[in-house]
Amino acid sequence: MSNCIGKYLIHSGHKIDGELTVQSAKNSFLPILAACLISDGEVVLHKVPNIIDVDYMTKIVENLGVKIVKYNDDLLVDSRHANTYEISSILTKEIRSSIFLLGAVLARFRQVKISYPGGCDIGNRPIDLHIKGLKALNVKVTEKHGYIICDGENMKPNTIHLDFPSVGATENLMMVATKINGITKIVNPAKEPEIVDLQNFLNASGCKISGAGTSVIYIEGVDKTNGCEYTPIPDRIATGTYIIATAMTGGKLLLKNTYPEHIESLISKLKLAGCDVSIKDNEIFTKANGRMKSIQNIDTQPYPGFPTDLQSQVMSLQTISDGVSIICENLFENRFKNAAELNKMGADIVIRDRMAIIKGVNKLYGADVQAHDLRGGAALVLAGLVAEGVTTVSGIHHIYRGYENFENNLTSLGLDIKKIEENTTF
Ligand code: EPZ
């Protein structure tokens, strides 16, 4: 993890040209790694993404007595000797995904003690929907000294109505319910592809879940589960990030190992804005045709709406598109931090509460900018790839949390980006 200290040095003037195989989905792999605690056998996970959040989650799960071995691109996970339900707070504060352990550990031990999760500084990140759902399953929940302590000895099946289709709450409640005898229903769940992926992994482990991706999920409790082999879905946000990089730099890119339907909301908007995007099986070919037209309105919504995780990247694209664009960020109240950094580069962005108004400019200028979160950091790199002159992006450890080999991938596609020491001056 130490190799993520430093900043990026970016020289513009190059177009993306080449092909890339997309990594496995961070937001699939992390809940699935937690869900291995529910498997009563050895699990082999293929195509492990080489990202910091997986390193953190691996350490957290190993601290529970789970045996994990990395072998090439595979992760061998054996939870049969898991021996504690108390989750170390040192690591849980680092990543939001540690909250998925709440459901997995509760399913395994019927007890769990976990501190509040950490994660990106994109908003308050409450877990009230998780807690409300657990209480509906007759879990006794106490919150004290920054810990959540759950007693699930008398858990009962129930129908849970989520006030908001929260991804994490849906995943936690799915996992808990796998070990509650009877049928639990989750109404108004999140429909993200990563939810379907978690269902498919849990079913491969012997659980009985149906309806993921629709408006009701059914979970029938089981007593025994088994080990399995599983390959998570490709990362739709990484896919979208590279497509937007192509639209911005004016090049062409063939992406392999993709699920095009998972980013239909982005592809349809880019086509309207003048980008060529063609699909063949699990490949996406993108070709830019000069300056893009502005995308008038972008409203981030739960899946299948426009993903909040691509909002920062599409904002970078709008800064150099032709016209005015309005972005509404409806999920996270603090996800416009990039605007100030982009304005340092000559962008014209005005923020009004949840709305960003972006007037396209002819060019951006290189500057020293700061990443504040994972997707915002990647978006600043995209801006640096097209800004006249030299750009440095600090805080790149955010980017390493979710993008595998980011600078090496961009370099292999013909771009000029290097990692240098944080205190290097020019
Ligand atoms: C997951 O976060 C993803 N993270 C996020 O990706 C993604 O942005 C988000 O889903 C939405 O798609 C992982 O999967 C590890 P939510 P999560 O619960 O589960 C409110 C990235 O860049 N809410 O669906 O935390 C919350 O405040 C990351 O890869 C409650 O009010 O998202 C937010 O407004 C960033 N109460 C909205 O729901 C709750 O109990 C969406 O949150 C839970 C959530």
Among protein residues, the one with the nearest Cα to ligand 1's atom 1 is 167
Whether residues 50 and 137 fall in one domain:
yes
Dump pLDDT digits (tens) for 209-267: 999 999 999 999 999 999 999 999 999 999 999 999 999 999 999 999 999 999 999 99
Ligand 1 neighbour 123 (Cβ under 6 A): yes
Catalytic residue among 36, 120, 150, 228: 120
Which pLDDT score is estimated for 16? 97
The C-alpha torsion from 116 through 198 and 334 to 339, rounded to 10°, is: 140
Q: Which one of 180, 209, 230 terminates a domain?
A: 230
Non-local (6+) Cβ contacts of 56 within 8 A are: 1, 91, 94, 95, 97, 98
Out of 167, 175, 332, 400, give the residue to mutate to test ligand 1, the one with the largest number of ligand atoms within 8 Å of its CB.
Answer: 167
Ligand 1 pocket member 97 (CB < 6 A): yes
Are 321 and 393 members of one domain? yes
Residue 3's pLDDT is 62
How crowded is residue 395: how many other Cβ atoms within 10 Å of its Cβ?
Answer: 19
Q: What ligand 1 atom has the least distance to the C-alpha of 122?
A: 35
Residue where one domain finishes, among candidates 230, 256, 288: 230
**352 and 297: one domain?**
yes
Q: Whose CA is nearest to atom 38 of ligand 1?
A: 166
Residues 284 and 216 in one domain: no
Closest residue CA from atom 6 of ligand 1? 309
Number of domains in the chain: 2
Please check whether residue 417 is in contact with residue 385, taking contact to mean a CB–CB distance below 8 angstroms.
Answer: yes
- What range defines the domain where residue 184 resides? 26-230
Residue 268 pLDDT more than 90?
yes
> Which residue puts its alpha carbon closest to atom 31 of ligand 1?
126
Residues 12 and 33 both lie in one domain: no
Residues 274 and 395 in one domain: yes
With a cut of 60, say whether residue 2 has pLDDT above it.
no
129 lines ligand 1 (CB under 6 A): yes
Mean pLDDT, the chain, whole residue set: 95
Please indicate, yes or no, whether residues 222 and 351 belong to a single structural domain of this protein.
no
Q: Residue 75: CB within 6 Å of ligand 1?
A: no
Q: Nearest residue CA, atom 14 of ligand 1?
A: 27
CA distance 155 to 198: 22
Instruction: Please give the structure tokens belonging to residue 32.
Output: 């699935």
Q: Are both 126 and 175 inside the same structural domain?
A: yes
| d(CA 236, ligand 1 centre) in Å | 16
Our answer on whether the CB atom of 168 is closer than 6 Å to any ligand 1 atom is yes
Output the pLDDT for position 120.
Answer: 56
Minimum-distance ligand 1 atom for the alpha carbon of 331: 34
Using the structure block, give the residue that is written with the tokens 């959540």: 148
Q: Which helix (H) or strand (E) holds 135?
A: helix 128-136
Q: Indicate the residue among 230, 257, 289 that finishes a domain.
A: 230
**Residue-wise DSSP of 359-426:** E--S--B--EEE--SHHHHHHHHHHHHHSBSEEEEE-THHHHTT-TTHHHHHHHTT-EEEEE-TT---
Ligand 1 neighbourhood includes 132 CB (under 6 angstroms): no
Atom of ligand 1 nearest to the CA of 375: 22
**Residue 334 shares a structural domain with residue 194:** no
Closest CA to 168 of 136, 201, 130, 224: 130
CA angle 406, 94, 6 (to 5 degrees): 40
30 lines ligand 1 (CB under 6 A): yes
Could you report the per-residue pLDDT of 35-60, keeping only the tens digit for each? 999 999 999 999 999 999 999 999 99
Contact 113, 85 (CB under 8 A): yes
Tell me how far CA of residue 242 lies from CA of 69, 122, 268, 289, 401, in angstroms: 30, 22, 16, 16, 17
> How many angstroms does the Cα of residue 123 sit away from the middle of ligand 1?
9
**65 shares its domain with 7:** no
Ligand 1 within 6 A of CB of 152: no
- Closest Cα to atom 30 of ligand 1: 126
* 100-109 and 128-136 helices, crossing angle to 10°: 20
Which residue's alpha carbon is at the smallest distance from atom 8 of ligand 1?
A: 309
Q: Is the CB of 130 under 6 A from ligand 1?
A: yes
Query: Ligand 1 within 6 A of 331 CB?
Result: yes
128 lines ligand 1 (CB under 6 A): yes
CATH code assigned at 144: 3.65.10.10
Instruction: Considering only residues 421 and 109, tell me which one the structure prediction assigns the higher pLDDT.
Output: 109
pLDDT at 1: 46
For residue 146, how far is its CA from the centre of ligand 1 (angstroms)?
Answer: 20
CA-closest candidate to residue 310, choices 243, 391, 214: 243
Same domain, 14 and 32: no
For residue range 83-105, what is the model confidence (pLDDT) as tens digits?
999 997 777 776 777 888 999 99
Distance in Å, CA 172 to ligand 1 centroid = 12
pLDDT digit string (tens) for 310-328?
999 999 999 999 999 999 9
Percent of the chain past pLDDT 70, that is, above it, reads: 97
Is any atom of ligand 1 closer than 6 Å to the C-beta of 313?
no
Average pLDDT over every residue of 65-80: 97
Choose among 67, 66, 33: nearest CA to 49.
Answer: 33
120 part of the active site: yes
Kindly state whether residues 363 and 258 are assigned to the same domain.
yes
Taking the centre of ligand 1 as the mean of its atom positions, its distance from the CA of residue 367, in whole angstroms, is 31
pLDDT at 124 over 70: yes
> How much is the pLDDT for 47?
98
Q: Sorting pLDDT into bands at 50, 70 and 90, what band is 7?
A: very high
Q: How far is the CA of 260 from the centre of ligand 1 (A)?
A: 22
